Amino acid sequence: MNLDLQIATAMPDLPPAADFETWARTALQDETRRGLVIRIVDEAESRRLNRDYRGRDKPTNVLSFPFEAPPEVPDEHLGDLVICAAVVRREAAEQGKVEAHHWAHMVIHGVLHLRGHDHQDDAEARIMENLETELLAGLGLPNPYMETP
C-alpha cells in the first residue's frame, strides 16, 4: 500500500504514522496494492470541505473521496480521506473512548467508504458496522458501537 499521510493541523499528540498505516491496511484487506491519501486537518478545512461537498456547514470527523479513474488510467489509487483531528479528539472524550481507538475506527470507517460500503439505510449500516467491529477486534480494539460508561 502506498499511503500518503498529510498533516495539515497544528494539533499535538496525533497518532504515529505507523498506526495510520496499520489501520488503513486492516480496512483495505485484499486491496493493499492501491494507494491512499489520509489528510489530517483542522476544523476550518473540515468545515469547508463538508460544506462544499456535502452541504453541511460544520466540521465532521471523516470525509471520504473515492477516486474514479478514467478507463484508460490504471486504477491504483483508492481515494482520499480527510480526518478532522479536533472532532476526533472531542468525540473520543464525549463518548468516553480511548482516543487512539477512535482514530482507528475513523480510519477504518473512512477506508470502508472508499471501498464502497455505506450506511444510508439500516441494512447497509448493520453490514458496515459489523465489518468495522470485526476489523477493530482483529486489532484487539473494542466494539465502537457499544455503550460506554
Structure confidence by residue, pLDDT tens digits, 28-71? 988 777 899 999 999 999 999 999 999 999 999 999 999 988 88
* pLDDT tens string 100-131: 999 999 999 999 999 999 888 889 999 999 99
- Model pLDDT, residue 17: 98
Number of H helices, E strands in the chain: 5, 4
Instruction: Note the pTM of the prediction, 2 decimals.
Output: 0.94
